[in-house]
């Protein structure tokens, strides 16, 4: 499995061309809920007073996501912002803070972050959840794997009930739990 990273950690990461030019920085991380993959990024300009750009970067145009920078071949790969996310979608789809429900209708907390596999897949592996009493009496932030049939929007995240049995306390141990959950779902 590739390295796991929190989507919020990608925000602010510098976008650098293979020619060594820092051309932008990541603003929003956009992912396709049904497909469970990152589709692209919205961008901000560089510099203290630079605001959001009207351009975006498709994930398929990313050369590599490194710990310090997102590498691309050339700035010419930038596209119009709507190619990655429309204005309406951006308003409706903000998942951080959205309530998390199991498919049985139990509210178990709110979305704190999204766990992404780096490398070429951009796969969404799971979610960091700020747990409530129904999941963890100590109200810790825990990691739960993504379900097979996932419903996710700014309104709510719906996960399979079995996912609660594969909760992890930290990102390194979550990788094994996510694999165990996948194996469990395949065997059903």
Residues that bind other proteins (CB under 8 A): 7-8, 10-12, 25-37, 39, 42, 44, 48-52, 85, 89-90, 93-96, 113-114, 121, 123, 125, 145-146, 148-150, 152-154, 178, 182, 185-186
Task: State the minimum distance, in angstroms, from the CB of residue 152 to other proteins.
Answer: 5
* Pick 107 or 179: Cβ nearer other proteins: 179
* Pick 126 or 142: Cβ nearer other proteins: 126
> CB atoms < 10 A from the CB of 32, how many?
14
Task: State the minimum distance, in angstroms, from the CB of residue 178 to other proteins.
Answer: 8
Task: State the minimum distance, in angstroms, from the CB of residue 111 to other proteins.
Answer: 8
- Measured CA to CA, the distance from residue 30 to residue 19 in angstroms comes to 26
Task: State the minimum distance, in angstroms, from the CB of residue 127 to other proteins.
Answer: 10
* Pick 77 or 90: Cβ nearer other proteins: 90
Residue 37: partners with Cβ closer than 8 Å, 6 or more residues away: 31, 59, 121, 122, 123, 124
Task: State the minimum distance, in angstroms, from the CB of residue 141 to other proteins.
Answer: 15
Structural Rg of the chain based on CA atoms: 17
Using CB atoms within 10 Å of the CB of residue 96, give its burial: 0 to 12 exposed, 13 to 18 middle, 19+ buried.
middle
* Pick 19 or 97: Cβ nearer other proteins: 97
* Pick 23 or 125: Cβ nearer other proteins: 125
Q: Are 151 and 160 in contact (CB under 8 A)?
A: no
> CB atoms < 10 A from the CB of 16, how many?
20
Residue 154: partners with Cβ closer than 8 Å, 6 or more residues away: 91, 92, 93, 94, 95, 98
């Amino acid at each position: 499995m590739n390295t796991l990273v929190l989507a919020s950690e990608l925000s602010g990461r510098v976008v650098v061309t293979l020619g060594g030019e820092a051309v932008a920085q990541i603003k929003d991380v956009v992912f396709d809920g049904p497909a469970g993959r990152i589709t692209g990024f919205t961008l901000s300009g560089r510099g203290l007073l630079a605001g959001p750009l009207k351009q975006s970067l498709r994930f398929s145009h990313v050369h590599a996501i490194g710990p310090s920078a997102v590498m691309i071949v050339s700035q010419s790969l930038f596209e119009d912002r709507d190619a990655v996310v429309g204005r309406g979608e951006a308003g409706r789809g903000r998942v951080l803070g959205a309530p998390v429900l199991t498919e049985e209708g139990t509210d178990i907390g709110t979305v704190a972050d999204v766990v992404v596999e780096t490398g070429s897949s951009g796969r969404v592996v799971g979610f960091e959840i700020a747990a409530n009493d129904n999941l963890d009496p100590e109200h810790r932030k825990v990691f739960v794997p993504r379900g097979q049939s996932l419903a996710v929007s700014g309104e709510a995240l719906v996960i399979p009930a079995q996912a609660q049995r594969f909760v992890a306390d930290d990102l390194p141990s979550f990788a094994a739990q996510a694999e165990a959950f996948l194996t469990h779902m395949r065997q059903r």
